C-alpha cells in the first residue's frame, strides 16, 4: 500500500526498495538505474509475444503539503487516507494520488496474470516534482519499449498528447545594513491563510489567489498609509504549488494600530469579493508580537515590495489551437525575506520556448530594477503533439468502448515526464491519461473511486488491443 510508505520528493528510497522487492516477489526481471528509477519487465501473455513492448510510466514521489498546525511528518508518517463519499482523500495532508495512483495501476498490471497483453515494462521514476530528476537521469537503452503510456494525468475525459515545458526563475538579494526599529512602534504579525492553492500548472487557469501576491499588495498599502516597516516575509512552499499561505511581521506606530486593523478587515472583505466563487475561506489575521530591534532598510523594503506587486503571475497567454488551454504562465511560488536575505522562486511554464523565456525575462526585469540577482535553472522543453499517433487511436477506442463517450484529445499545461522521455526514447509513441484527481499538491487532494475503476478498464483493454 503506497499510502503507508513515506515518499516525499527527495526521499524515495523506501518506496523504490519496496518496488524492487515487489518485482522480485512476483518473479519479474527488475532493475534500478544509478539515479534511482526502477524498471520491472513482465513477459507477454502466451499468444501476444509478437506485440510491441508497452512502457507504463509513473513517478513515485509525492508533494508533501499539509495544513497549518498539523503535526504530520512526511519522512516518517503514513498518509491517513479515507473514503469521503465518492472520493478518496487524506486528513490534512496531500493524498499522493499524484502520482501514486499511476504507480498502483502499474503494480496491478504486473501482479495480475489474468490480463492479456504484449511485453510490458513498468518504469517508476523518482523525484518528478522537483524538476523531473528521474526522467532527466534516465539513460538511453534502460527502457526498450516502442510505446509509452504515462499515467500522470488527472482528468479522465481527456487524452493528453502534449505538455508544457518549464524553467525555474530564482531571485536573490543580500543586504547587510538593518535600520533600528522606529521609536514608538509596535510589532504586528500578519497571516494570510485559507486560500485553496493547488497545482501551479493545471490549476493556474482557475484564477485562484496567490498568497504571496496578495500579502505584498496589503503590505504596500500598509507601508504607504500606516507607516509600516517590514521585518520579515515568509510565503509559499513548493515551486509547483500555488501558495495558500503567507506571513509577514511589520512594525507600525502604535497610534496607527486601530487604522491598520480596520484596513486589514476591509482588505479581507475586498479579497472575498474579488475572489467570489473561487476562494471561500480567506483569512487575514493580525496579532501583536515581540518587537524586533531592527527593520528592513526603507529603500530595500520599498523596492522589493514593489517588485513583488508588479511582477507577472498567473496565465500569460492562451493556445489558439486548443481553446481554453493556457500556453504560458508563471507561479510566484516562494517569497522569503529575513535576516539580511531576500529570495523568491518562480516556476514559468509554456508550450512555446520563446514565450517561456519572455515571461522569465519579465520577472528578471522587475527584480533587476529592485537590485536583485536573477538566475534560471536549465529547465526542460515541452512534449510536441503527434496527431497521427497509433496509441492515441488505440486508447481512444478503448475509452469509447468502456464509457460510451468520446474523449477530448488535448495537451496539458503542466510538465509531464513525456517531454523529457521523448528525448531519451525518440522513436516511442507516447500518450498520457489518468483518473479524475482534484486539488493535487494541496491538502484538499482527492481521487474519484469510480474514475479509478473506469480508467483501469480502459488501460487493460488498450493493453490487450495494442
pLDDT (mean) for 285-301? 97
For the annotated catalytic residues, the residue numbers are: 61, 128
pLDDT (mean) for 2-29? 98
Per-residue pLDDT for 96 more than 80? yes
| Average pLDDT, rounded, for the chain | 96
Q: What is the pLDDT of residues 171-205, one digit of tens each?
A: 999 998 789 999 999 999 999 999 999 999 999 99
Q: Which fold has domain 2-163+382-465?
A: Aminopeptidase (3.40.630)
Q: What is the pLDDT of residues 350-360, one digit of tens each?
A: 999 899 999 99
Length of the chain as a residue count: 466
Q: What is the pLDDT of residues 299-312, one digit of tens each?
A: 999 999 999 999 99
∠ CA 13-15-16, nearest 5°, is: 65
Rounded CA separation 415/163 (Å):
6
**pLDDT band at 384; cut points 50, 70, 90:** confident
User: Given this model, what pLDDT does residue 180 score?
Assistant: 96
In this structure, of 214-218, 369-373, 437-441, the range with the lowest mean pLDDT score is 437-441
User: Given this model, what pLDDT does residue 385 score?
Assistant: 83
Per-residue pLDDT for 378 more than 80? no
Q: Which fold has domain 167-376?
A: Alpha-Beta Plaits (3.30.70)
Nearest to 339, CA basis, from 458, 176, 96, 209: 176
How far is the CA of 258 from the CAs of 31, 184, 186, 248, 261, in angstroms?
65, 15, 12, 18, 5
- Cβ neighbours around 356 below 10 Å, total: 25
Q: What is the pLDDT of residues 73-82, one digit of tens each?
A: 999 999 999 9
User: Given this model, what pLDDT does residue 176 score?
Assistant: 84
pLDDT (mean) for 416-437? 93
Rounded CA separation 180/193 (Å):
30
Q: What is the pLDDT of residues 326-355, one digit of tens each?
A: 999 999 999 999 989 999 999 999 999 899
> Is residue 396 within 8 Å of residue 455, measured between CB atoms?
no
Residues 6+ apart with CB under 8 A from 314: 204, 207, 210, 329, 330, 331
> Is residue 175 within 8 Å of residue 295, measured between CB atoms?
no
> How many percent of the chain have pLDDT more than 90?
89
Which triple of cell numbers denotes residue 146? Answer: 516502442
H or E, element range at 354: helix 353-368
**pLDDT band at 362; cut points 50, 70, 90:** very high
**pLDDT band at 130; cut points 50, 70, 90:** confident
> Is residue 26 within 8 Å of residue 93, measured between CB atoms?
no
pLDDT (mean) for 116-127? 98
Which triple of cell numbers denotes residue 433? Answer: 491519461
How far is the CA of 441 from the CAs of 52, 244, 444, in angstroms?
35, 11, 8
pTM of the model: 0.74
Per-residue pLDDT for 433 more than 90? yes
User: Given this model, what pLDDT does residue 52 score?
Assistant: 97
- Cβ neighbours around 156 below 10 Å, total: 22
Q: What is the pLDDT of residues 257-270, one digit of tens each?
A: 999 999 999 999 99
Rounded CA separation 163/386 (Å):
12
pLDDT (mean) for 132-157? 95
CATH 3.30.70.360 boundaries in the chain = 167-376
User: Given this model, what pLDDT does residue 64 score?
Assistant: 95
Q: What is the pLDDT of residues 45-75, one digit of tens each?
A: 999 999 999 999 999 999 999 998 999 999 9
Rounded CA separation 220/307 (Å):
11
∠ CA 461-431-385, nearest 5°, is: 145
CATH 3.40.630.10 boundaries in the chain = 2-163+382-465
User: Given this model, what pLDDT does residue 387 score?
Assistant: 73
User: Given this model, what pLDDT does residue 155 score?
Assistant: 94
Task: Kindly state the DSSP code that residue 167 receives in the 8-state scheme.
Answer: E
Q: What is the DSSP pairing of strand 429-432 with strand 147-150?
A: parallel
Rounded CA separation 407/161 (Å):
12
User: Given this model, what pLDDT does residue 377 score?
Assistant: 87
Amino acid at each position: 500500500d503506497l499510502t503507508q510508505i513515506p515518499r516525499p520528493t527527495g526521499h524515495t528510497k523506501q518506496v523504490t526498495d519496496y518496488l524492487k522487492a515487489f518485482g522480485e516477489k512476483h518473479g519479474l526481471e527488475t532493475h534500478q538505474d544509478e539515479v534511482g528509477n526502477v524498471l520491472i519487465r513482465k513477459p507477454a501473455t502466451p499468444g501476444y509475444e509478437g506485440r510491441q513492448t508497452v512502457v507504463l510510466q509513473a513517478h513515485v514521489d509525492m508533494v508533501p503539503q499539509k495544513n497549518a498546525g498539523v503535526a504530520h511528518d512526511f519522512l516518517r508518517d503514513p498518509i491517513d487516507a479515507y473514503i469521503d463519499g465518492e472520493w478518496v482523500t487524506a486528513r490534512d495532508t496531500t493524498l499522493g494520488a499524484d502520482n501514486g495512483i499511476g504507480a498502483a495501476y502499474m503494480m496491478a498490471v504486473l501482479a495480475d496474470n489474468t490480463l492479456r497483453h504484449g511485453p510490458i515494462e513498468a518504469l517508476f521514476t523518482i523525484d518528478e516534482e522537483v524538476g523531473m530528476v528521474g526522467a532527466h537521469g534516465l539513460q538511453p537503452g534502460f527502457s526498450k519499449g516502442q510505446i509509452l503510456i504515462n499515467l500522470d494525468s488527472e482528468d479522465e475525459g481527456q487524452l493528453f498528447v502534449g505538455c508544457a515545458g518549464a524553467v525555474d526563475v530564482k531571485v536573490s538579494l543580500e543586504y547587510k545594513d538593518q535600520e533600528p526599529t522606529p521609536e514608538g512602534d509596535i510589532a504586528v504579525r500578519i497571516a494570510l491563510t485559507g486560500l485553496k492553492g493547488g497545482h501551479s500548472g493545471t490549476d493556474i487557469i482557475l484564477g485562484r489567489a496567490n498568497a504571496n501576491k496578495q500579502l505584498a499588495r496589503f503590505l504596500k498599502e500598509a507601508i504607504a498609509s500606516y507607516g509600516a516597516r517590514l521585518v520579515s516575509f515568509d510565503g509559499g512552499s513548493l515551486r509547483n504549488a500555488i501558495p495558500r499561505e503567507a506571513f509577514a511581521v511589520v512594525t507600525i506606530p502604535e497610534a496607527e494600530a486601530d487604522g491598520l486593523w480596520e484596513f486589514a478587515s476591509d482588505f479581507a472583505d475586498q479579497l472575498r469579493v474579488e475572489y467570489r466563487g473561487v476562494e471561500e475561506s480567506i483569512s487575514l489575521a493580525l496579532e501583536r508580537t515581540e518587537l524586533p530591534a531592527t527593520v528592513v532598510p526603507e529603500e530595500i523594503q520599498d523596492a522589493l515590495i514593489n517588485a513583488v506587486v508588479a511582477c507577472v503571475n498567473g496565465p500569460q497567454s492562451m493556445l489558439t489551437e486548443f481553446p481554453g488551454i493556457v500556453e504560458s504562465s508563471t507561479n510566484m511560488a516562494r517569497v522569503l525575506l529575513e535576516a539580511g536575505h531576500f529570495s523568491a522562486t518562480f516556476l514559468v511554464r509554456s508550450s512555446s520556448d520563446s514565450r517561456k523565456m519572455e515571461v522569465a525575462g519579465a520577472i528578471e526585469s522587475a527584480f533587476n530594477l529592485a537590485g536583485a540577482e536573477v538566475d534560471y535553472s536549465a529547465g526542460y522543453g515541452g512534449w510536441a503533439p503527434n496527431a497521427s499517433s497509433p496509441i492515441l487511436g488505440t486508447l481512444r477506442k478503448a475509452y469509447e468502448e468502456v464509457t460510451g463517450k468520446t474523449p477530448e484529445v488535448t495537451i496539458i499545461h503542466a510538465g509531464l515526464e513525456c517531454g523529457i522521455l521523448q528525448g531519451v526514447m525518440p522513436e516511442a509513441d507516447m500518450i498520457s491519461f489518468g483518473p479524475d484527481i482534484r486539488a493535487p499538491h494541496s491538502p484538499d487532494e482527492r481521487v474519484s473511486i469510480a474514475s479509478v475503476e473506469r480508467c483501469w478498464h480502459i488501460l487493460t483493454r488498450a493493453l490487450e488491443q495494442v
